[in-house]
Chains A and B, each alone.
Chain A
């Protein structure tokens, strides 16, 4: 840490690595201070993530939580600036357009309202009706805050649920005392869930964390009396993690794929030595049930959109056999999108898995009981998340959940279908291997591109794609739901969502293009992004045909394409040139613009049928 402070120049990558170590709150503060000193005048650039300006609106002391939140952002390669209101003034600052909060211009808001503040006026002598009225008042205050924040700043809002610091007055049956503060907190926490869903607010579930870790891990009454810290400094790093996971999830930065070892990770024993009847899996033995629980957790993750892959040192036939034939296995081959069982090293196999699934290595979590393999992968592929797990399967699901790799805010139908889509991709690869040339292969796919202007139904998926696509993304401009709504409302702009179907199935929405008229006749392509799943199928020229037609319909004579380089989008550097645009400028950072004269443009031939629908 001290060496980092003395290092010259750009220290961001080393700081990210340090942030990934297990840091206590003192070291978290020290790392934060080092980073902030270095980037005091200008935030680091080219991170490929959206910088966040987070306003923490709190009713008690949160000064000690800024550093943990920023370091948890650093851990995810996200630059976070933080702001907090003057003590107790959260509502005044929210409602006053001339306040320091408004001057800060937040693009994310966290409400940290403590239980003592919200339970003001609750006492044991209240009647049922009074207590319910007080609950309604607290809910109304919170709603007022959310709506005022949304109206003023148009940005994602998160809300921490309440820790319950109150000593019970009744005991186990506290809920029977209408005026119990503890019962009030429980009722408000329950109400917050429905309110948050209705208002599109994300929760930071402190109550859940405290019920798991115990209240003393989160709250120290002596510190409350001393400094009005509701969350104790020792819990700061855990708090920062929870907040930053939501921020990262909003940017689509959660992990996407769980890579599983087999022997002694999914079952007990070694399949190659012990055979089908020797491995331990299933009911009847504590260890066997533990492995079932690991598989069930993986299966549940897959059902809600996490991709599963297998990476094992085994002969492939041996490795597949339990998935095909063992009656106690929960996971089956069709749950696994990429299956690598061979004798190559695991880093090479993990790279192959990422390539096959067309996702970044930094979207992978690798689960393995063997400390040698974990360390090897950490060393070779530091961007892959490798949780430290014990050899007891009973502990594995909780370790995975606690690490928050797969933090998610909402579920779309496509999440549920993802593994099926990857399965279809394998069938396509098979066809490609059989087809003698590319043209025959592409024709054989019977592709249909179904396009639509942006609409309310697709909104969630559109925003998700805009905020998480890194590789095939010309400008990496991140847009919020409200930005997208603004494009929908603008008659001089168009937003296109493209779906690709073929004989193997529906690939879902695979491309987004946004065009804006910047001056009469000039249509600038603000955003062009595509899912890497459909690369190499001639989707790009077909998309350009459509974009050109849309631009012409809005009176454009020229299309302007722009490439803004990031660490991840090198693959589209020459995208516009390849499509026949003329490059008009290129600066030394690699940023370029290109133009296409629509008068002389002739649509490219394509194997894809284009349909509006």
Chain B
């Protein structure tokens, strides 16, 4: 899976959030990336990511949307849907 051109800005912003949450500066986000691929991505960090995404994009993710997220691609899709 590659990053859709229309979502590049979203991935840039998400990368910043992930770098902040995991205290790194080398996160490389791909649509297929999942919690299993990132050391330390537990339910606690998951909530941090969600709350940061909500603040950054000024959106509210509902319970179903969060439950249905399987990977970073899904997250970017939800953000894209809610910000356009």
Contact = CB atoms under 8 A, between A and B. Distances in A.
B51 A226 contact: no
A227 B38 CA distance: 21
A29 B48 contact: yes
A456 interface: no
Contact of A222 (B21, B43, B52, B62): B62
Given A226-B63, A226-B66, A234-B55, A27 B47 contact: no
Main secondary structure of the interface of A (DSSP, over half): helix
Contacts of A222: 62-63, 66
A227 B48 contact: no
Contacts of B8: none
Nearest to A31: B23
Contact of B47 (A2, A30, A229): A229
B16 to A, nearest CB: 10
A483 interface: no
B66 A27 contact: no
Nearest to A1: B23
A233 B25 contact: no
B24 to A, nearest CB: 9
Interface string B53-84: 00100000011001000000000000000000
Contacts of A63: 44
Greatest chain B CB density within 10 A among A25, A26, A234 is at A26
Contact of B43 (A25, A225, A227): A227
Contacts, number: 41
B20 interface: yes
Contacts of B63: 222, 225-226
B23 A234 contact: no
Nearest to A24: B55
A27 B48 contact: no
A63 B47 CA distance: 12
Nearest to A232: B51
A229 B43 CA distance: 12
A341 to B, nearest CB: 45
A233 B47 contact: yes
Main secondary structure of the interface of B (DSSP, over half): helix
A61 to B, nearest CB: 9
B73 to A, nearest CB: 22
B58 to A, nearest CB: 13
Query: How big is chain B's contact interface, by range?
Result: 10 to 19
Nearest to A229: B47
Nearest to A29: B48
A229 B66 CA distance: 16
A64 interface: yes
Interface in A24-38: 24-27, 29-30, 33-34
Interface in A11-30: 24-27, 29-30
A27 B25 CA distance: 14
A88 B51 CA distance: 25
Interface in B10-33: 17, 20-21, 23, 25
Interface in A71-100: none
Contacts of B21: 26, 29
Greatest chain B CB density within 10 A among A5, A24, A226, A232 is at A226
B47 A5 contact: no
Given A33-B23, A227-B43, A234-B55, A26 B48 contact: yes
A223 interface: yes
A226 B64 CA distance: 11
A2 B25 contact: yes
A52 to B, nearest CB: 23
A63 B45 CA distance: 11
Interface of B: 17, 20-21, 23, 25, 43-44, 47-48, 51-52, 55, 62-63, 66
11 contacts: A2-B23, A25-B51, A29-B21, A30-B20, A30-B23, A33-B23, A222-B62, A223-B51, A225-B63, A226-B47, A226-B63
Given A2-B23, A64-B48, A234-B55, 19 more contacts: A2-B25, A5-B23, A25-B48, A26-B17, A26-B20, A26-B21, A26-B52, A27-B20, A29-B48, A30-B20, A64-B47, A222-B62, A222-B66, A223-B51, A227-B43, A227-B47, A232-B51, A233-B47, A233-B48
